Amino acid sequence: MDESFRHPAFIAMLFDHGVAVVTAGDSQSPQIADLTADFVYVRIMGTKEAEPLGYRETVVANWAQRARDWAHGKVPHDLNAISPSKADDVPHDVYLYVINGHKILNPTAARNLINQVRHSAPGPAAHHRS
């Protein structure tokens, strides 16, 4: 995805049709965190061999907080949104995938992220598969 997708007209089109934009973490793709559908689709791609759990704990805690924000209908404050006014405070399902990076650690990183989200404040939680 190139920078041309970082345009309010693109976000409006997705929103009008209920299509989720992919939020890509640790990627060369532009990071877009807008809420454009009733669910959020996130792919994080930066697991590292040097990290026993794939990611540093602070990085996992940040993604867990972002998942909680999206689940509560908010755009995470530390991510870029093209049209932040689209945030609606309505609960959203969150599908967050750990892919690429040091692939052998992706399941470990995903389980760690699930644990962080599970042990968070009450309210809507991100979807997870064990």
**Which of the residues in the chain have pLDDT under 70?**
1, 84, 86-87, 121-130
Characterise 54 by phi-psi region: left (phi > 0), alpha (psi -120 to 50), beta (else): left
The residue whose two tokens read 């640790």 is: 26
The 10s digit of each residue's pLDDT in 77-111 is 999 899 867 667 889 999 999 999 999 999 999 99
pTM of the prediction?
Answer: 0.85
CA 105 to the chain's CA centroid:
18
CB neighbours of residue 8 within 10 Å: 12
Residue 93's DSSP bridge partners are: 39
Question: Which residue, among 81, 78, 84, has the nearest Cα to 61 in the 3D structure?
Answer: 78
Classify the C-alpha dihedral 7-10-16-17 as positive or negative.
Answer: negative
Q: Which two tokens stand for residue 113?
A: 């992220």
Q: What is the pLDDT of residue 121?
A: 59
Q: Residue 62 has what DSSP assignment?
A: H
Q: What is the pLDDT of residue 47?
A: 94
Residue 122 to residue 101: CA distance in whole angstroms: 31
Q: What is the pLDDT of residue 27?
A: 86
